Copies of this chain bind each other. A is one copy, B any other.
Amino acid sequence: MTIWYGGDYNPEQWPRDVWDSDVQLMQRGGISLATVAVFSWARLEPRPGEYDFGWLDDVLDTLHAGGIRVDLATATASPPPWLAKRHPETLPVTEDGVRLAVGSRQQYCPSSPVYREHARRLVERMVERYADHPALELWHVNNEYGCHVSRCYCDVSAAAFRTWLEARYGSIEELNRAWGTAFWSQRYDAFDEIEPPRAAPTFRNPTQLLDFDRFSSDELLACYDAEVEVIRALSDVPITTNFMGFFKPVDYWKWAPKVDVVSDDTYPDPADPNSAAYAAMVRDLMRSLGGGAPWILMEQAPSAVNWRARNAPKAPGMMRAWSYQAVARGADGVLFFQWRQSEAGSEKFHSGMVPHGGTDTRVWREIEALGAELQRLSADQVGLEGSRVPAQVAIAMDWDSWWAIEQPASPTTVSYLEVLFAWHRALSSLGVTVDFVRAEADLSGYRLVVAPAHFVATDAQVENLAAFARSGGTLVAGFGTAITDEHLHIRLGGYLGAPLREALGIRIEEFAPPAAPDLRATGEGDAPPVPITGDVLGGDVLGATWAEFVRLDDAEARATFTEGALSGWPAVTRRASGGGAGWYVATLPEPDALARLAAAILEDAGIARPDPVGTGGALEVVRRGEYVVIINHGGDDAELNLAGTDLLSGSNAPGLVLPPQGVAIVPTDADG
């Protein structure tokens, strides 16, 4: 086995004579896998039905001759301009009715049968031609589905939406019930009266919005399915499509079972001190999507990206440190966008493995050094790749809830991702590895499950979470959880649903989110913090985002609000049950307080926190298989105190000094 190393390779941007030097340079850099043809449709099919594969044959043969394996894209991510010229109805339309034009990329309506048919036709040719190419390692379907166009409001999409709704609800009566159209005179008399949630006079029907989110995710998945069907008919090579971390428009829980290997594109901001912690959360999601199986980091930047307003380069060592973070959290491949930095086009300022400045550059030297290091690890058969990452704690994650809790006309403004990140970071900072799970999944493998802001919860999910608490698990429900069922109908009688109300011993009487003055109800303003207190929080601290009036039925308050009408009302509650417990947290405690609360809950759940592996720096510690990976994300040196020999430096770990961005990999049997 090997840890894949490589990147997107777009040789059509360069003259033929560059290709040979590319392969030589790839060999020098330890590259083992190249993603090819992601944006090649217009080159492969220069006009409808006319194909030019010769150059791609050449590319694949050249790579193969150099020993580079190929992740071959189906090239359908960006149709050629001729498609829009001949079929303008394939161009996507915004909710304001603006039809988007050619000239950038991904300009297709996901529901367009014309686009899908053209894409299938191309994929068929690709598979026929390359299914048996000796360089082929992986099929790469399309690219970053929905990255720019995930919602289309055109008439073609409208028709597809109606078909999808008819399949979901069966009858217009059932849809009317689910959407609550009795209110605001929205009752539909027939499916053909329904439109996508286009620009409207005011708030659009919430369930219509949610269904349009589901529909839109499904339509992209149908595009993927259509291509996969073509490939599977002719090829046994594994298939992937590259995910994009926590990407709101697409429900990856529904996609993950359909890929042979999960792969991910993530571009943390080097200028953001939270990026390493945020990236850790993304890696954990990718591992969880594949059910714990190894995944591939398909794209990251060698240094700066080009699409932020201001694009900082990665600090020296940062690319290596973040690459090992992915490996530590389950990745068996470390790839980049892109091999050679473009000379022209929209991404010319996106860094490349071979920069504008050539190989006498820091960026290339770091690329080359990491390639050599990974080759050595694979050659030494240390067995990191292919191994699993154990976790006793899980966070319930749910796209329906993400879509719904961020809708307008809600109690307050919540960033679902910020809430998730707060909890993931608090737990990770204690040295605990966290999986993500669906709330209806088998939770028996975990000792602690956290369900924060799980706004939309089916009866089955409510029961599953409650059963977990009843059967000895420790459940933490956060504010905003199980407010509604899958149709966005309120769970009446105190929210949460009866099983969870019982498991937690509480019900919620009224929301009381912090709010800022707004004389004439326009604009937003910042929400003020809410003071809370409690030993589990470390005393008097602040909460953010949310507050509410929680009634104790059969639980004890472990922290309380301390100001205004909320004063004395519970902010954190706990109900003991057979061996386990049900916690409820009615606000978002500030980071340090949340970490203290998380520590108390871990202790309550009987989960031992690992001993510190060193002092100084800012250490991320993750166990994978037989090893502990330690990364210093801080600005100062760290000194390790665990025994064993670091695979990377060959030094003995006790006393080993990790500089900023330093990494060590130490056998776990050496641990403590």
Question: Chain A: residues with CB nearer than 8 A to chain B?
Answer: 10, 12-13, 39-43, 46-47, 75, 77-82, 84-85, 92, 94, 96-107, 147-149, 179-189, 192-208, 267, 269-275, 278, 303-304, 306-313, 315-316, 341-349, 351, 355-358, 361-363, 408-413, 417, 421, 487-490, 492-495, 507-521, 523-525, 527, 549, 564-565
One of B42, B208, B346, B412 near A205 (C-beta < 8 A): B346
Sample 7 A-B pairs with CB under 8 A, ordered by A number: A92-B201, A100-B198, A206-B348, A269-B521, A307-B409, A309-B412, A315-B565
Say yes or no: A13-B183 contact (C-beta < 8 A), given A310-B412, A310-B513, A516-B271.
yes
Q: Which of A206, A361, A513, A519 has the most chain B CB atoms closer than 10 A to its own CB?
A: A519
How many copies, total?
Answer: 3
One of B80, B101, B196 near A189 (C-beta < 8 A): B80
Say yes or no: A194-B362 contact (C-beta < 8 A), given A179-B344, A517-B273, A519-B278.
no
A107 to chain B, nearest CB (A): 5
Query: Do B183 and A490 touch across chains, with their CB atoms under 8 A apart?
Result: no
Query: Do A515 and B357 touch across chains, with their CB atoms under 8 A apart?
Result: no
Q: How far is the CA of A358 from the CA of B507 in the complex (A)?
A: 12
One of B75, B149, B511 near A185 (C-beta < 8 A): B75
- When distances are taken between beta carbons in the complex, the residues of chain B under 8 Å from A85 are 192-193
- When distances are taken between beta carbons in the complex, the residues of chain B under 8 Å from A493 are 356-358
Going nearest first, the 8 A-B pairs with the smallest beta carbon separation are: A180-B344, A272-B517, A148-B201, A42-B187, A183-B345, A101-B198, A271-B515, A310-B515
Query: Do A12 and B182 touch across chains, with their CB atoms under 8 A apart?
Result: yes
- When distances are taken between beta carbons in the complex, the residues of chain B under 8 Å from A104 are 184, 200-205
Q: How far is the CA of A275 from the CA of B304 in the complex (A)?
A: 37
Main secondary structure of the interface of A (DSSP, over half): loop
Query: Do A200 and B409 touch across chains, with their CB atoms under 8 A apart?
Result: no
Query: Do B185 and A80 touch across chains, with their CB atoms under 8 A apart?
Result: yes
Query: Do B269 and A517 touch across chains, with their CB atoms under 8 A apart?
Result: yes
A-B contact sample (13 more), CB < 8 A, given A147-B202, A315-B564: A10-B182, A10-B183, A81-B186, A107-B200, A179-B344, A179-B345, A180-B344, A183-B344, A186-B345, A310-B527, A344-B488, A344-B489, A348-B490
Say yes or no: A180-B307 contact (C-beta < 8 A), given A106-B202, A357-B509, A489-B344.
no
Say yes or no: A187-B43 contact (C-beta < 8 A), given A102-B193, A269-B521, A313-B512.
yes
- When distances are taken between beta carbons in the complex, the residues of chain B under 8 Å from A199 are 94, 98, 100-101
Q: How far is the CA of A351 from the CA of B200 in the complex (A)?
A: 24
One of B84, B303, B343, B512 near A489 (C-beta < 8 A): B343
A525 to chain B, nearest CB (A): 7
- When distances are taken between beta carbons in the complex, the residues of chain B under 8 Å from A187 are 42-43, 46, 80-81
Query: Do A411 and B186 touch across chains, with their CB atoms under 8 A apart?
Result: no
Q: How far is the CA of A187 from the CA of B47 in the complex (A)?
A: 10
Query: Do B344 and A518 touch across chains, with their CB atoms under 8 A apart?
Result: no
Q: How far is the CA of A371 from the CA of B507 in the complex (A)?
A: 27
- When distances are taken between beta carbons in the complex, the residues of chain B under 8 Å from A196 are 101
Query: Do A510 and B363 touch across chains, with their CB atoms under 8 A apart?
Result: yes
- When distances are taken between beta carbons in the complex, the residues of chain B under 8 Å from A97 are 98-99
Q: Which of A103, A179, A413, A508 has the most chain B CB atoms closer than 10 A to its own CB?
A: A103
